[in-house]
């Protein structure tokens, strides 16, 4: 890592450490105290407590100075009695909770203050016109917004209630005599106390995993509200859920943990296929990704940039009521990430986490290949049939494999038959896959470290963290390292009325990508012959044939000693490459909130972001890439002088992209009981944002890293090819480019929630988005979107007597989310290019024909949900059913080419989606051994409901793509195939249907098969999916396993395509199973070798129904084990907690519907399933 | 308090509203432009990659070149079908020849419609006229090429009853192209070219931009097809009156791998080029493809003193004779197509011969051939017989315009006239394929996506 960054990181850490607090801690055993002494200092007393009990004592040092000496004679006095004794007359009070004692300044109790103001009123005891109290958490921190409800004689909630203010105080008027008060707060266990003039301090304990008490908070990115009061469909992942799995990117931790959210793993992908989809996909040619919001603002950088250790929670917004506050960006769902912040009045906590992950080498043999002997015998056959004759004579000297070169040598009589045979034998012994495993792959090793400090005094809180990741990838010479630094500071001013939070994030990562599949290409696109050797006998990188015929290259080098070495050695090449991607990301945010009056606050937020990505591909002068580029254009004059149009030196490619963003928001929050029973929770505001990207791409020739030197080249001149002197039109590759993109949004929004008795809740949300869509009139740039929802807590009704389900809440919502496609315009647009191919004149290309009807995409979502819990929370969960409609989606319409375009992209498509999400938590065992299960089941279906009518064109376009086949009435990701009639028993030819009869007229079959004749299997996206997670805990140890399943979907299996080379190019392992003699058709579907090449014969097989497979499968995703080291042990090392964590993922498929060893999620060409990883983690709190 | 909220609201919200308008006018991609100025139209027409491309399948279907069996094996499906005249094959359904020609038409129409919205005045009329002329020329070139490939050969008797090609004259993609009859199609092209000729500069400095002489030369080509030899003579003689430069083949190096000067810039480049529009990339037409050879009977027609024998071909032994005479020169990888003065000479000569002026016809032919033969070795051909002259001219036409895309047009029109019935035979993997003179075999089907078949 760069020294400079390390220094920056350390400086930041130092800066934040200055505001430190004293942390007193020690270890002990008993719970009673024996102490005798006169005029003991308070510090000595504390020391005694800590020595003799296993309580820890926290206190501000300055407070201890104010104490008076203590004289005491205690003999095995219980702790509480002892504390009362020593605190007598001191300006301190103690709060005891969870093995900690916090000493703080004695707060004047409300009653005390009251009596000072009006001594008379405190004597009123019969009815309590005013009941006061203070609600604090176990650390003594006041709780703002806790609900205080008056219960009636039956213990049911009455309409009389209030919430605590920012200092934790509450005041209730007209409380009946002897009434009970129920005090609740999110994430805390409720307390019931008897009403009195001064209730005093009510301490609410933090809740454990009890559902009723844990009020989940959902953060929409605009506001945080209790899930109780939400009408939409939210899913919240807390810190514990996120800590369960191990990954570099935080988003990966959502996999198989959120109902309705699925990771798409297909290798067939393009810009319109998202890796993550939430409740299916409702777009065809616009941005398909969910919106990622980090700390209130959308984040557009790499998701790898967020250190999972800094994340406190993630909320997934699924339906319209949840997501429509994000308007035109919400159509694909919203993922809101909230990072950690410090807490006020908390001693400094330091925690350190470290995880080491090691992964297996991938199994290259997963993708079956034809045997090397078969490969060589096909090469021989092709050679004998003259297949290579044209290539042999080609003046560009395209590369031929070693076997072919040997055969040519034999044909020319340069070697004897015996020599040939021994050469071929030699080749058969080499196995490239084995060589790859040995030299190009390694066990991967990921290291993750993070350190964070947090805490706060009364008026401020802070959180600061530093993280370091270092990943060494499965591919040798590829790596990733990341440094993250975060500092967050909150200040409370003007008696708590003004809250100011600043947040600074800095991320720097370096990715090295020197090892890639192109390393083993022949002529830039063909797979390397399977008998290539990477290392020779003497342990030096071996030469493989790459671009030109090898003997020719050797001959040239002999003739022209001035040429640079023209041979290629992949192992040497990886060492000579230096391809790095630097990603630097700064985010600086300010959030200020001013409490104008009770319940009304105004808020201004601003975030500045700067993301810089520099890709530097440095190719040394010794690399083959550079040697080849130089040699290609070299000219050697008659007098022997050498002219090199590309100068001797390295080639440095740089791609720089800098995105600067400003995001500003002003918002008004209102949260108050507008009437005794009605709580209004409303926000309104405006967002304005700009993302401005400047990009440059430059190639520098003659690069000398020692001197930082470069050399000028002539891009305009044309040069003679050294390989083929007839070709005089070669140019020095020019790849410089400039890009400037601006993304601007102005949005206005409002959201209102009205809750009556906390039982009936209505929500309304509206938003207008405007953006700089090019060529569209200002009044068409915007789109209004809205949503509405209601929820009803059925179980609070008096008539509700369903004792099995003591908690039941029904909610429903409807609304619209939007999606914007900025690549389109209402006018004819053209894009400018600075240099044309022949004349070097600048020119313009027409991008899209005019589209005056261009509109934003809209998705309507209707959601119906039920939240429930059985008695004692043994079974709890939620069921959501939804329907979606994609309206005015951007789609492609086929146009007759004579119009000038073949495709027109406009608002031509509609989709219909439906599905459900079921989440069930069960507590199966609740004894010494506890056993909990989480069950998730989702259905997501997207059907095209409107598109242009089918063209008469060949059905091939529906068969070839599994990405998107928009046909009305069929799923978005449908897979079709050609009907097949097996193999001809005599010839092994694939049989298809031509006008209903079995035929081998492949060309006619392909051209006559209409869309209606195709076999429709289903969708390539799982219709049903989910996961089951079981956790078993015993004492401090817990073990869990996550099993995921994906059902009702299809994939097309790869197989051999013979082409005109008997399948040499694809060299798929199915070659072995091909039809070879009559009778084989009974146990194989692989056609025989073709006698005459026919592309449609291959198509009939490759796109035939026999290769469609069901993808249904169940997979063990991961296993996790956690051991929280017991406190008695920790004492010895003065630690407050120590957690050891074992995690293994990608365990494997345990059941699948289709036979064979193909993992349905990794069925693409060349796709390998992810390797199994094992992690060991340690997390310590001081 | 209310005041404070109000102030807050006014400041933050109102600033947003006020900056709204200009704020959202910013281009999302700086490289995007809405073409509406003359400069923009020039950029569109200067898109050589799109505007200067010529249909190529017909070169494969013509009778000048054959490919070896080994070479045939590596051809793409569409090239194979063109080589074996499988006119019914659906592979032509995705034809780039068709799509890219109509893309040229679309670009030209965008410019023509755009020009209609600009006022032509004293200050801009030069550029305005030139751009209008260029757009009309490009559109006509595309239509003419499409007519040669996708429409039946022209028969003056029945041209108004024969299906032509879709003619698209507006840029609005929603307006369906009109399928015109053959006669109307050719008339449209001729009228546009005559207009273009008036608007274009006589000669262009840049070979990819059309000039008035190029428009006249294309009109000459068109007149041969429509058998309007009177106008053909008029147009081509006008070309040669204005610009008659020929390249003296004696000045070229016969041993060079790529002997012809570059197409660009004009002046230092090849002086014969009137308009440069190379073929689409096809492996059959690749200069590096050794398997494609000239047919022997044609090669044998070049006399020993004829420099074209050495500048056009390279002998590789074993009877392999490859073509190297592309006018694209050494700087361009794709083979030359377009218009040259040499073609104008030949067209003029043919029209003169057909108009019963054999002596004058031979004069033009001799002027061309003189530049093709070794200095002093050329003996001018003399004949007073129109028919004899025509036979000589047509033979020289085939020898001169090799791999230009004109041979297909010549085969179509001459077979249609019944003057020289050429039957093409070729053998692939021992099987013989024959293209007889039937007109229906001399054009490719429209792509199915057109919905017009």
- If you count them, how many residues does chain A have? 1182
B257 contacts in A (CB within 8 Å)? 725-728
State the pLDDT at residue A387: 83
Lowest-confidence segment of A147-161, A332-346, A822-836, B101-115 by average pLDDT: A147-161
SS3 B134: helix
Smallest CA-to-CA distance from A700 within A751, A665, A736 is with A736
The pair of structure tokens assigned to A1041 is 């396993």
Note whether A799 contacts B: Cβ–Cβ < 8 A.
no
How far apart CA B404 and CA B85 sit, in angstroms, is 19
**Residue where the block lists tokens 């000067």:** B261
> What share of residues in chain A are helix, strand, coil (percent, to 5)?
20, 45, 35
Q: Cis peptide before A348, with omega less than 30 degrees from 0? A: no
Looking at the predicted structure, is the pLDDT value of residue A177 above 80? Answer: no
How far apart CA A581 and CA B259 sit, in angstroms, is 46
How far apart CA A529 and CA A1064 sit, in angstroms, is 9
A727 contacts in B (CB within 8 Å)? 257-258, 287-288, 333
Of A686, A847, A952, the CB nearest to B12: A686
Average pLDDT, chain A: 85
How far apart CA A855 and CA A8 sit, in angstroms, is 47
CA distance B222 to chain A (A): 21
Q: What is the largest CA-CA distance in chain A?
A: 123
The pair of structure tokens assigned to B354 is 């057909």
How far apart CA A970 and CA A909 sit, in angstroms, is 13
B167, A899 contact by CB (below 8 A): no
Smallest CA-to-CA distance from B227 within B175, B182, B267 is with B182
CA distance A659 to chain B (A): 13
B25 contacts in A (CB within 8 Å)? 772, 778
Q: The whole model's pTM is what?
A: 0.79
How far apart CA B108 and CA B189 sit, in angstroms, is 13
How far apart CA B255 and CA A22 sit, in angstroms, is 92
Note whether B267 contacts A: Cβ–Cβ < 8 A.
no
Q: What is the pLDDT of residues B393-423, one digit of tens each?
A: 999 999 999 999 999 999 999 998 887 788 9
Looking at the predicted structure, is the pLDDT value of residue A322 above 90? Answer: no
Smallest CA-to-CA distance from A278 within A319, A232, A310, A245 is with A319
Please name every residue paired with A1019 in a beta bridge, in sequence order, or none if there are none: A974
Q: At what angle do helices A550-559 and A402-411 cross, to 10 degrees?
A: 80
Q: Which domains does chain B have, with CATH numbers?
A: 2-248+339-440 (1.25.40.390)
How far apart CA A304 and CA A80 sit, in angstroms, is 50
A666/B12 touch (CB, cutoff 8 Å), yes or no: yes
How far apart CA A904 and CA A887 sit, in angstroms, is 18
How far apart CA A894 and CA A949 sit, in angstroms, is 9
How far apart CA A485 and CA A38 sit, in angstroms, is 50
How far apart CA A653 and CA A296 sit, in angstroms, is 37
How far apart CA A1141 and CA A240 sit, in angstroms, is 12
Query: DSSP H helical segments within B151-228, as ranges?
Result: 182-199, 212-225
Smallest CA-to-CA distance from A1116 within A1042, A1039, A1014, A1013 is with A1042
How far apart CA B46 and CA B208 sit, in angstroms, is 8
State the pLDDT at residue A390: 74
State the pLDDT at residue A25: 33
Element (H, E) at A667: strand A650-675
ipTM of the prediction: 0.87
- If you count them, how many residues does chain B have? 453
State the pLDDT at residue B4: 62
How far apart CA B357 and CA B379 sit, in angstroms, is 20
**Residue where the block lists tokens 């805490």:** A455
State the pLDDT at residue B87: 78
Going by pLDDT thresholds of 50, 70 and 90, the confidence category of residue B177 is confident
Q: What number of C-beta contacts closer than 8 Å exist between A and B?
A: 258
Note whether B168 contacts A: Cβ–Cβ < 8 A.
yes
B166 contacts in A (CB within 8 Å)? 896, 898
Element (H, E) at A1116: strand A1113-1124
A395/B449 touch (CB, cutoff 8 Å), yes or no: no
Q: At what angle do helices B212-225 and B182-199 cross, to 10 degrees?
A: 160
State the pLDDT at residue A518: 86
How far apart CA B114 and CA A830 sit, in angstroms, is 13
B49: nearest CA partner in chain A: A837
State the pLDDT at residue A979: 94
How far apart CA A218 and CA A225 sit, in angstroms, is 6
A832/B291 touch (CB, cutoff 8 Å), yes or no: no
A747: nearest CA partner in chain B: B16
Average pLDDT, integer, range A736-744: 90
Q: Where are the beta strands (DSSP E) in A995-1095?
A: 997-999, 1015-1019, 1024-1034, 1037-1047, 1050-1052
How far apart CA B184 and CA B165 sit, in angstroms, is 10
Q: What is the pLDDT of residues A770-802, one digit of tens each?
A: 888 765 565 566 778 999 999 999 988 888 888
Looking at the predicted structure, is the pLDDT value of residue B16 above 80? Answer: no
How far apart CA A885 and CA A201 sit, in angstroms, is 52
Q: What is the pLDDT of residues A1081-1106, one digit of tens each?
A: 999 999 999 887 778 899 999 999 99
Q: What is the pLDDT of residues A1128-1145, one digit of tens each?
A: 777 777 788 899 999 999
Element (H, E) at A1077: none
Residue A789 backbone dihedrals phi, psi, to 5 degrees: -150, 155
Dihedral sign of CA atoms A977, A978, A981, A985 in order: negative
Smallest CA-to-CA distance from A542 within A556, A552, A532, A527 is with A532
State the pLDDT at residue A126: 39
Question: Torsion angle of alpha carbons A268, A272, A277, A278, nearest 10°?
Answer: -160
Q: What is the largest CA-CA distance in chain B?
A: 110
Average pLDDT, integer, range B15-32: 70
Note whether B176 contacts A: Cβ–Cβ < 8 A.
yes
Q: Best interface-test mutation with A: which of B44, B53, B73 has the largest number of A CBs within 10 A? A: B73
State the pLDDT at residue B89: 64
> DSSP letter at B333?
S
Q: What is the pLDDT of residues A207-258, one digit of tens each?
A: 544 334 446 788 888 988 888 888 899 999 988 889 999 998 888 899 999 9
Question: Measured in whole angstroms, how far is the alpha carbon of residue B372 from the centre of its chain?
Answer: 23
CA distance B33 to chain A (A): 5
Residues in contact with B57: Cβ distance below 8 Å, sequence separation at least 6, in sequence order = B78, B79, B82, B92, B95, B97, B149, B282, B444
């Amino acid at each position: 890592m760069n020294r400079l960054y390390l220094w920056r990181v350390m400086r930041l850490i130092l800066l934040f450490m200055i505001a430190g607090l004293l942390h007193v801690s020690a270890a002990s055993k008993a719970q009673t105290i024996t102490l005798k002494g006169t005029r003991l200092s308070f510090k000595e007393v504390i020391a005694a407590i800590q020595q003799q009990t296993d309580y820890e004592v926290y206190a501000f040092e300055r407070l201890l100075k104010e104490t008076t000496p203590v004289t005491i004679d205690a003999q095995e006095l219980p702790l509480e009695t002892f504390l009362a004794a020593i605190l007598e007359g001191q300006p301190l009070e103690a709060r005891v909770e969870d093995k900690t004692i916090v000493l703080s300044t004695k707060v004047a109790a409300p009653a005390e203050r009251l009596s000072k103001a009006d001594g008379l009123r405190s004597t009123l005891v019969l009815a309590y016109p005013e009941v006061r109290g203070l609600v604090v958490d176990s650390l003594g921190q006041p709780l703002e917004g806790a609900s205080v409800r008056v219960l009636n004689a039956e213990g049911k909630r009455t309409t009389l209630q209030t919430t605590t203010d920012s200092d934790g105080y509450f005041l209730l008027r007209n409380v009946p005599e002897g009434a009970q008060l129920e005090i609740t707060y999110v994430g805390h266990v409720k307390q019931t106390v008897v009403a009195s003039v001064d209730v005093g301090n009510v301490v609410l304990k933090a809740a454990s995993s009890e559902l009723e008490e844990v009020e989940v908070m959902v953060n929409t990115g605009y506001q945080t509200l209790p899930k109780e009061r939400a009408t939409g469909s939210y899913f919240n992942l807390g810190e514990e859920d996120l800590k369960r799995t191990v990954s570099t990117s935080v988003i990966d931790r959502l996999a198989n943990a959120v109902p309705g959210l699925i990771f798409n793993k297909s290798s067939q992908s393009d810009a319109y296929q998202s890796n993550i989809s939430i409740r299916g996909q409702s777009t065809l040619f616009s941005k398909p990704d969910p919106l990622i919001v980090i700390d209130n603002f959308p984040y557009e950088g790499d998701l790898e940039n967020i250190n999972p250790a800094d994340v406190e929670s993630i909320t997934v917004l699924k339906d319209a009521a949840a997501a429509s506050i994000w308007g035109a960006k919400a159509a694909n769902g919203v993922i809101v990430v909230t990072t950690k912040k410090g807490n006020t009045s908390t001693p400094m906590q330091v925690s350190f986490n470290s995880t080491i992950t090691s992964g297996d080498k991938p199994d290259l043999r997963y993708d079956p290949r034809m045997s090397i002997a078969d490969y060589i015998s096909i090469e021989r056959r092709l050679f004998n049939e003259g297949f290579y004759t044209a290539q042999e004579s080609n003046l560009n000297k395209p590369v031929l494999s070693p076997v072919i070169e040997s055969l040519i040598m034999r044909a020319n009589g340069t070697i004897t038959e015996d020599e040939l045979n021994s050469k071929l034998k030699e080749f058969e012994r080499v196995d490239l896959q084995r060589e790859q495993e040995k030299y190009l792959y390694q066990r991967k090793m990921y290291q993750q470290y993070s350190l964070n400090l947090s805490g706060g005094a009364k008026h401020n809180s802070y959180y600061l963290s530093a993280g370091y990741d270092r990943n060494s990838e499965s591919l040798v010479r590829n790596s990733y390292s990341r440094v993250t630094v975060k500092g967050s500071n909150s200040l409370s001013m003007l008696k708590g009325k003004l809250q100011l939070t600043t947040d600074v994030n800095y991320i720097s990562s370096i990715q090295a990508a020197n090892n890639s599949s192109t390393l083993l290409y022949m002529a830039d696109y063909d797979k390397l012959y399977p008998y290539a050797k990477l290392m020779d006998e003497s342990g030096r990188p071996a030469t493989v044939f790459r671009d030109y015929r090898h003997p020719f290259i050797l001959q040239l080098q002999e003739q022209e000693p001035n040429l640079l070495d023209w041979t290629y050695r992949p192992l040497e090449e990886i060492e000579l490459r230096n391809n790095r991607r630097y990603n630097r990301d700064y985010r600086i945010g300010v959030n200020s909130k001013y409490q104008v009056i009770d319940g009304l606050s105004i808020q201004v937020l601003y975030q500045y972001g700067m993301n810089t990505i520099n890709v530097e591909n440095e190719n040394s002068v010794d690399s083959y890439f550079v040697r080849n580029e130089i040699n290609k254009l070299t000219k050697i004059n008659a007098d022997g002088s050498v002219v090199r149009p590309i100068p001797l030196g390295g080639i440095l490619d740089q791609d720089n992209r800098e995105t600067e963003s400003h995001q500003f928001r002003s918002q008004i929050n209102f949260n108050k009981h507008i009437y005794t029973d009605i709580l209004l929770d409303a926000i309104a505001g405006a967002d304005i944002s700009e993302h401005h990207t400047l990009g440059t791409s430059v190639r520098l020739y003659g690069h000398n890293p020692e001197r930082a030197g470069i050399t000028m080249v002539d891009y305009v001149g044309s040069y003679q090819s050294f390989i083929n002197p007839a070709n005089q039109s070669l140019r020095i590759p020019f790849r410089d480019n400039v890009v400037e993109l601006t993304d601007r949004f102005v949005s206005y929004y409002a959201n209102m929630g009205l809750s009556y008795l906390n039982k009936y809740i209505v929500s309304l949300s509206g938003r207008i988005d405007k953006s700089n869509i090019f060529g569209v009139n200002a009044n068409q740039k915007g789109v209004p979107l809205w949503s509405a929802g209601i929820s009803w807590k059925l179980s609070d009704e008096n008539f509700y007597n369903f004792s099995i389900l003591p908690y039941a809440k029904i909610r429903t919502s409807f609304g619209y989310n939007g999606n914007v496609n900025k690549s389109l315009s209402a006018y004819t647009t053209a894009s400018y290019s600075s240099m044309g191919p022949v004349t070097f004149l600048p020119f313009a290309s027409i991008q899209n024909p005019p589209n005056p009807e261009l509109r934003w995409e809209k998705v309507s979502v209707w959601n119906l949900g039920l939240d429930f819990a059985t008695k004692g929370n043994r079974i709890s969960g939620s069921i959501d059913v939804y329907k979606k409609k994609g309206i005015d989606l951007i789609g492609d319409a086929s146009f007759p080419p004579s119009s000038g375009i073949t495709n027109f992209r406009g608002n031509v498509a509609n989709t219909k989606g439906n599905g459900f999400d079921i989440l069930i938590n069960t507590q199966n065992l609740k004894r010494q051994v506890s056993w909990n299960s989480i069950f998730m089941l989702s259905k997501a279906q997207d059907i095209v409901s409107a598109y242009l009518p089918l063209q008469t064109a060949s059905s091939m376009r529906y068969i070839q793509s599994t990405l998107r086949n928009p046909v009305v009435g069929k799923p978005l990701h449908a897979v079709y195939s050609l009907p097949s009639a097996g193999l001809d028993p005599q010839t092994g030819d694939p049989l298809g249907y031509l006008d209903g009869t079995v035929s081998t007229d492949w060309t006619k079959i392909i051209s006559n098969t209409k869309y209606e004749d195709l076999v429709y299997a289903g969708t390539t996206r799982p219709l049903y999916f989910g996961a089951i997670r079981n956790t078993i805990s015993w004492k401090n140890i817990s073990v869990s396993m996550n099993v995921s399943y994906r059902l009702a979907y299809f994939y097309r299996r790869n197989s051999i395509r013979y082409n005109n080379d008997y399948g040499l190019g694809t060299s798929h392992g199915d070659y072995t199973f091909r039809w070879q003699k009559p009778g084989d058709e009974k146990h194989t579907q692989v056609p025989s070798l073709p006698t005459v090449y026919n592309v449609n014969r291959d198509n009939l097989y490759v796109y035939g129904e026999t290769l469609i497979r069901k993808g249904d499968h169940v997979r063990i995703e991961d296993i996790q084990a956690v051991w929280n080291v017991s406190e008695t042990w920790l004492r010895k090392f003065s630690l407050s907690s120590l957690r050891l964590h074992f995690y293994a993922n990608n365990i494997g498929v345990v059941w699948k519907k289709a036979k064979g060893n193909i993992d349905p999620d990794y069925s693409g060409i060349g796709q390998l399933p992810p390797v199994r990883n094992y992690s060991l983690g340690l997390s310590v709190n001081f | 308090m209310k005041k404070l909220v109000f102030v807050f609201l006014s400041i933050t919200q109102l600033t947003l509203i006020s900056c709204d308008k200009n704020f959202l006018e910013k281009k999302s991609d700086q490289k995007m432009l809405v073409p509406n100025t003359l400069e923009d139209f020039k950029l569109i027409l200067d898109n050589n990659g799109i505007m200067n491309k010529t249909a190529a399948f017909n070169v494969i279907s013509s009778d000048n070149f054959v490919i070896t069996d080994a070479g045939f094996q590596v051809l793409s499906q569409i090239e194979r079908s063109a080589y074996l005249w499988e006119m019914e094959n659906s592979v032509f359904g995705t034809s780039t020849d068709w799509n890219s020609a109509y893309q040229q038409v679309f670009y030209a129409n965008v410019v023509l419609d755009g020009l209609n919205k600009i006022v032509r005045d004293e200050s801009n009329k030069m550029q305005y006229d030139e751009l209008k002329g260029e757009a009309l020329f490009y559109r006509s070139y595309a239509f003419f090429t499409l007519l040669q490939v996708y429409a039946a050969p022209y028969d003056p008797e029945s041209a108004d009853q024969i299906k032509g090609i879709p003619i698209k004259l507006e840029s609005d993609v929603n307006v369906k192209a009109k399928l015109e009859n053959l006669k109307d199609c050719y008339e449209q092209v001729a009228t546009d070219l005559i207009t273009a000729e008036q608007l274009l500069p006589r000669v262009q400095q840049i070979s990819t931009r059309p000039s008035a002489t190029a428009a006249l030369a294309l009109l000459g080509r068109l007149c041969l097809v429509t058998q309007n030899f009177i106008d053909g003579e008029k147009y081509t003689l006008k070309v040669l009156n204005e610009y008659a430069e020929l390249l003296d083949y004696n000045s070229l190096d016969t041993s060079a791998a790529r002997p012809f000067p570059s197409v660009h810039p004009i002046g230092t480049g090849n002086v014969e080029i009137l308009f440069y529009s190379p073929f689409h990339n096809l492996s059959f037409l690749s200069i590096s493809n050794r398997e494609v050879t000239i047919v022997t009977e044609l090669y044998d027609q070049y006399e020993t003193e004829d420099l074209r024998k050495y500048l056009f071909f390279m002998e590789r032994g074993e009877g392999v004779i490859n073509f190297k005479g592309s006018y694209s020169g050494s700087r361009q990888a794709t083979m030359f197509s377009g218009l040259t003065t040499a073609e104008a000479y030949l067209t003029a000569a043919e029209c003169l011969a057909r108009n019963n002026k054999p002596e004058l016809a031979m004069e033009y032919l001799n002027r061309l051939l003189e530049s093709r033969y070794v200095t002093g070795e050329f003996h001018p051909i003399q004949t007073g017989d129109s028919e004899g002259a025509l036979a000589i001219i047509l033979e020289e036409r085939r020898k001169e315009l090799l791999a230009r895309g004109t041979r297909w047009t010549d085969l179509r029109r001459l077979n249609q006239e019944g003057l020289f019935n050429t039957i093409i035979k070729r053998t692939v993997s021992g099987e013989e394929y024959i293209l007889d003179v039937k007109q229906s075999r001399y054009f490719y089907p429209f792509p199915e996506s057109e919905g017009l078949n």
